[in-house]
A = this chain, B = another copy of it.
Amino acid sequence: MKSWVAGAEGSGYDVTHLPYGVFSSGDDEPRVGVRIGDFVVDLAPLAASEMLEGAHVFETRSLNAFMALGRPAWDSVRGWLFEMLTDEEERETVEPFLQPVSEVVMHMPFEVADYVDFYCSLHHASNTGRIFRPDAEPLRPNWRHLPVGYHGRAGTVVPSGTPVVRPNGQRKSEQAESPAYEPTRRLDIEAELGFVVGAPSARGRSVGTAAFADHVFGVVLVNDWSARDIQGWESVPLGPFLAKSFATSIATWVTPLAALSSAYVDLPGQDPEPLPYLAVDDPAGLDVEVEIELNGTVVSRPPYRTMYWSPAQMLAHLTVNGASLRTGDLYASGTISGPDPGQRGSLLELSWGGREPFDLAGTKRSFLEDGDVVVLRATAPGADDTRILLGEVAGRIEPADRD
């Protein structure tokens, strides 16, 4: 089925995709929209004019109210949108509510409740092990038994396009006797996929892998900015803190989980077999192709299908202790790195800890410099042999605050 919206086919935003976001135009209040081709559908007035039940959830400046309704409502709205955007007879009804994306401002798509970051790539975990502990076994003993994760700062999750100020902090070189306070010298990216929780769960009860699609509303690309020197000094024994908490960028368009139904692939293989609470029916992986662009040059193409732990396993692990889910919870995969050097999801790995700078348009680079612009993009197979384009994540590095 094709949409009557001109240019939607082949744009990555055809009717098999339909990502949600929060937009505004002119002095209007931000509100929920859905993307089709190069247009945003202004959902609140369209839904109201069509007397759609619960239309008020689109009048708010976040997706949270809609996401809280749960899977049946998500599927129902998606079915209705598909109908409105493919049926030529609905054209007259819908067209007044279309606005060119070039004429709107995109905002944070949802209010982040808790933010958890995992560490699910075997290749990333192995690479960091080899870089930092070259004489030891790269993987820690727990790594193949559970998806390792930790909580990040929800309040500094920012939408694509937000400038990122180079953080100040403590760093200590091995030679130095004491730490220095200065701007990070090893500012890095982490290309990740984030999963957005819509339906909450009760405290004290776990959410099994089979309930993944009942709770997860959709997916966003994530750039988990990292200051490696701050991280190295602060992280033992309680994990990363200020090295990550200054900013985490996400896409402004949330791809509904339903749009990825053709993207499921088998996991690369888990050995040993996970404990029963982590068991999944294959295919549980996602065939999302990511691309990292630095100052206009693609420097890496991390393949999400190489990830060891699946999104449903992350969710089951996150809640196995009875931790409840809230609408707006965001959990990210951790850096996506494939087996090949050109598939690494961080500059730390691309420059092998800074020891092997990589080529960037004729110069040698390791970590981020002021003024650098990073853009993450991703595609996935859509239904009907289409290809969907996930919302990009862009950010520019600004100099450190020197006051």
Contacts and interface: CB of A to CB of B under 8 A. Distances in A.
Interface of A: 113-114, 116, 119, 140-142, 145-146, 148-156, 158, 165, 167-170, 172, 178-179, 181, 203-206, 227, 230, 233-243, 245-247, 272, 275-277, 317-318, 320-326, 329, 398, 401, 403
Contact of A149 (B158, B179, B238): B238
A156 B239 contact: no
B240 A239 contact: yes
B276 A245 contact: no
Given A167-B322, A204-B165, A240-B239, A272 B150 contact: no
A157 to B, nearest CB: 10
A182 to B, nearest CB: 10
Contact of A156 (B116, B242, B324): B324
Given A155-B326, A401-B205, A167 B321 contact: yes
5 contacts: A145-B178, A148-B237, A206-B401, A242-B323, A247-B322
Given A113-B155, A150-B151, A165-B204, 9 more contacts: A142-B236, A151-B151, A155-B325, A170-B275, A181-B320, A204-B401, A230-B321, A242-B317, A245-B321
Nearest to A148: B238
A239 B178 contact: no
Counted per complex, copies of this chain come to: 2
A116 B150 CA distance: 12
A168 B325 CA distance: 16
Q: Which of A158, A206, A245 has the largest number of chain B CB atoms within 10 A?
A: A245
B241 A322 contact: no
A276 B403 CA distance: 12
Contacts of A321: 167-169, 227, 230, 242-243, 245-246
Contacts of A238: 119, 148-150, 235, 239-240
Contacts of A141: 172
Nearest to A133: B237
A120 B136 CA distance: 31
Contacts of A317: 242
A181 B275 CA distance: 7
A114 B323 contact: no
Given A155-B329, A238-B150, A240-B238, A322 B113 contact: no
Given A239-B238, A321-B169, A154 B154 contact: yes
Nearest to A246: B321
